[in-house]
Structure 1
Amino acid sequence: MSKRKVLIVTQEMEPYTVAKDIATTVRALAPHLQKNQMEIRVLMPRYGTINERRHRLHEVVRLSGMNIIVDDNDFPLIIKVASLPDKGLRMQVYFLDNEDFFKRKFVHHDKEGKPFADNADRTAFFCKGVIETVKKFGWPPDIIHCHGWMTSLIPFYLRTAYSTEPLFADSKIVYSLYQSEAEEHIATDFPNKASINALSAEDLAPYMHEGKPDLHGGAIKFADAVIKGSTELSAHNESLLAAAEVPVLDVQGEDAPAASLDFYFSLLEEEVVK
């Protein structure tokens, strides 16, 4: 049987970003999957904090050159790649880059700790850019695993604007929810920024709660399964998991890679080959 394909989309990953829940989880997960006969591709933003020389990033010319429309403006998408340092493995990580959104020397906040005013635009750009890049790969993923609020639009886009795209017809979407209050990062005009391909702000109603952006809530609405990525969540985020109408896996730490693999196969209705 051919290898199952797993697309990991993440806003953070060691060693490229600071070691937090998301970064450490993805760093452990990706090699584990590859060692267990899964075909893996990892996509993340190319923040200005990432040292290209140290991590040996280089542009993938055949994938670059697309323009992504956000809020009626065109933004060029540049794709770069690096090999994840791991003994005995050769795994490539793809970085989505744009000078307007990702060249700054901070990730989601400025030097005073204030969220960037264009975080909504950055999120829409990244999520649409991921989908368009995978289309260029011509690589149909069996599992699409999204990590963090900056990936939260991918389930929505795939089930709406890209619902007729055959490449994703059989993909199962997993969303990992971490302890991050996404609404603290995103302005209330988020639905207008995230509307693409003839979608309207009304279509994004699941991403709003009591007049504020609720990116985790929207992602869970359109995902096929959810993983609780942080041990402790806010009361609101716990309520989202409790109300979820899809399978939920509660796993963190060193148990997460193996449990996630089993979870994938349960979604694909196959037995894990140990």
Structure 2
Amino acid sequence: MGLRVCHAAAELAPFAKAGGLGDVVAGLSRALGRAGHDVRVFLPFYAPIARLHFPFNLVEFLRDVELQLGVRRFRYSVFTTRLPDSTVDAYFVHCPALFHHDSIYAPGWDEYLRYALLGRATLECCQRMGWAPEVIHCHDWHTALVPVYLRTLYSWDRLFARTRTVLSLHNLGYAGNFGAHVLPELGLEGSAHLLHQEDLAARRMSFLRTGLLHADFLSTVSRTYAREIQTPEFGFGQDALLRARADRLVGIVNGVDYGEWDPARDPHLPHKYSPKGLAGKGRMKRALLERAGLQASERAPVIGIVSRLTAQKGLDLLFDVLPDLLSQRDLRLVALGSGEARYESFLAWLQSSFPGKAWFHRGYHEELAHWIEAGADLFLMPSRYEPCGLNQMYSLRYGTPPVVRRTGGLADTVELWNPMTREGTGFPFEHFTPEGLRWALDFALQVHQDPEAWKQLQANGMARDFSWDRQVREYEELYRRALA
């Protein structure tokens, strides 16, 4: 029997997406809908959404709803449309006074009001619909107050008597921290005993920490990351609380939308291929090298990078490793990304220092990202930490073995190639050092010289299934565990 599942989130692709969160909420919602569950998603109606070509319909009984936040009075209406390629309805909270900015995460003093309103509007929409969700799935700090609201402002309503909450941690580095002076406007001034007392003593409050205290279950986006965030190194100051709630914390690897990322039907690729026939991958390699203006060579391996250029992505390791590698070996480097100036400058320097061997495209380009996944021989992802990661799973499907740091979701999805058993899918390395990365790249380049071993390695990776239809079963189990 299907469950009634409500998602509350700041992002939902393709309507509002700043990173991976929007893809995850969309992919999980679609999969739950296909599995027969009644799924509804609530998010803000950001100003840029109005410019999208979707049939947004006003929900008449959710027009001009008044909501008091402390001394401030707001009005919102709700629009709805179907999440593409799904049976799921998305509901957009339209409050121009708060969501009038030209970007999703616009800085401003009123950020706490925006997401307090989203959380409360989600619950009040359920009330006005007469729809009793069995699970409210909150995502990151933006909707992390929903569990405490159910225990306080909405505890009177029997509609939510059986409702249980799950809080997913996609990015623990953002916690929604504000001064304690916001409590009256959040409606929590009379519920201070339910908040984190050390925070209150320091005259602050945290949306995320409040959610960690009160959600019935916590989830994050890989099993290894669920263990890592209970340590000071990865816990961003939340590790003690996460250890205290370890019996309610689960790790579930994100799914991949193979409708968008599959070399057999990828609309971005001029040459398609599949595990049964890899000729198209060779043609994609030649096309990629030509597009990048690099020297064509069938034997020289191509290393691909598609990344945000930040310290989290482990790019500091490249400074000591890539110049030596490019000078000593016949290989090619194709990199796509943008971010911190020092990394952009380094990749641009590689291009100028190794003409014909290295190429860097500053920015993001969707088609080029698909070309790199298809045309590269190796995909490089040496993250310092990685809650889940998606590109390594794309790479496996595209027959492009990944070289990754053994952390978070990378540890859960990439298995070390074993030349004796011919098992494994890539080249994870343990220690976050230049030596660790150099070991993994040397190993990968050695295996690449053995065509039969390389074909088996590619076949192993392409056979892995990280589809949402597979991963959703773990969420169904989590929901039923919460309801037990």
TM range (shorter): 0.7 to 0.9
The corresponding residue for 1:134 is: 126
Deviation of 1:191 after TM superposition, in Å, equals: 2.0
Q: Which runs of 5+ in 2 are unaligned?
A: 256-465
Deviation of 1:246 after TM superposition, in Å, equals: 5.3
Decide whether aligned partners of structure 1 residues 246 and 223 sit closer, same or farther in structure 2, where only a CA change above 3 A counts: farther
The 10-residue stretch of structure 1 (160-169 or 210-219) with the greater mean CA deviation from structure 2: 210-219
Decide whether aligned partners of structure 1 residues 178 and 188 sit closer, same or farther in structure 2, where only a CA change above 3 A counts: farther
Decide whether aligned partners of structure 1 residues 28 and 53 sit closer, same or farther in structure 2, where only a CA change above 3 A counts: closer
The corresponding residue for 2:72 is: 73
Kindly provide the amino acid, as one letter, of the partner of residue 91 in structure 1: V
Deviation of 1:148 after TM superposition, in Å, equals: 1.8
Deviation of 1:203 after TM superposition, in Å, equals: 4.5
Decide whether aligned partners of structure 1 residues 218 and 250 sit closer, same or farther in structure 2, where only a CA change above 3 A counts: same
TM-score of the superposed pair, with normalisation by structure 1: 0.85
Decide whether aligned partners of structure 1 residues 253 and 120 sit closer, same or farther in structure 2, where only a CA change above 3 A counts: same
The corresponding residue for 1:242 is: 243
- Percent of aligned positions that are identical: 23
The corresponding residue for 2:196 is: 206
Superposed counterparts of 1:1-274, under 5 Å: 1=1, 3-18=2-17, 20-86=19-85, 89-109=86-106, 115-183=107-175, 186-195=178-187, 199-200=189-190, 202-203=192-193, 205-206=195-196, 209=199, 210-229=202-221, 231=225, 234-235=234-235, 236-244=237-245, 247-254=248-255, 256-269=471-484
Deviation of 1:208 after TM superposition, in Å, equals: 6.7
The Cα RMSD (Å) is 2.3
The DSSP-based 3-state class of the residue aligned with 1:22 is: helix
The count of aligned residue pairs is 259
The corresponding residue for 1:272 is: none
Deviation of 1:72 after TM superposition, in Å, equals: 1.5
Deviation of 1:21 after TM superposition, in Å, equals: 3.1
> Would you say the 8 A contact 1:8–1:42 is kept in 2?
yes
- Structure 1's consecutive aligned runs of 4 or more residues displaced over 6 angstroms after TM superposition are none
Structure with more relative contact order (C-alpha pairs < 8 Å, separation 6 or more) = 1
The corresponding residue for 2:418 is: none
> Would you say the 8 A contact 1:117–1:187 is kept in 2?
no
Deviation of 1:151 after TM superposition, in Å, equals: 0.4
Kindly provide the amino acid, as one letter, of the partner of residue 40 in structure 2: R
Please tell me whether Structure 1 or Structure 2 has the larger radius of gyration of its CA atoms: 2
C-alpha separation between the residues in 2 aligned to 1:7 and 1:207? 30
- Once the two structures are superposed, residues 49-93 of structure 1 have per-residue CA deviations (whole angstroms, 9 ceiling, x without a partner) of 21454122221122222101112221111100111111xx33210
TM-score of the superposed pair, with normalisation by structure 2: 0.50
Deviation of 1:268 after TM superposition, in Å, equals: 2.4
C-alpha separation between the residues in 2 aligned to 1:262 and 1:22? 21
- Once the two structures are superposed, residues 172-191 of structure 1 have per-residue CA deviations (whole angstroms, 9 ceiling, x without a partner) of 11111221444566455332
Kindly provide the amino acid, as one letter, of the partner of residue 258 in structure 1: R
Decide whether aligned partners of structure 1 residues 212 and 185 sit closer, same or farther in structure 2, where only a CA change above 3 A counts: closer
The DSSP-based 3-state class of the residue aligned with 1:265 is: helix
Query: Which structure dedicates a bigger proportion of its chain to helix?
Result: 2
The DSSP-based 3-state class of the residue aligned with 1:125 is: helix
- Once the two structures are superposed, residues 4-25 of structure 1 have per-residue CA deviations (whole angstroms, 9 ceiling, x without a partner) of 2111111111111225232121
C-alpha separation between the residues in 2 aligned to 1:192 and 1:102? 21
> Would you say the 8 A contact 1:152–1:219 is kept in 2?
yes
C-alpha separation between the residues in 1 aligned to 2:71 and 2:57? 29
The corresponding residue for 2:363 is: none
Kindly provide the amino acid, as one letter, of the partner of residue 159 in structure 1: R
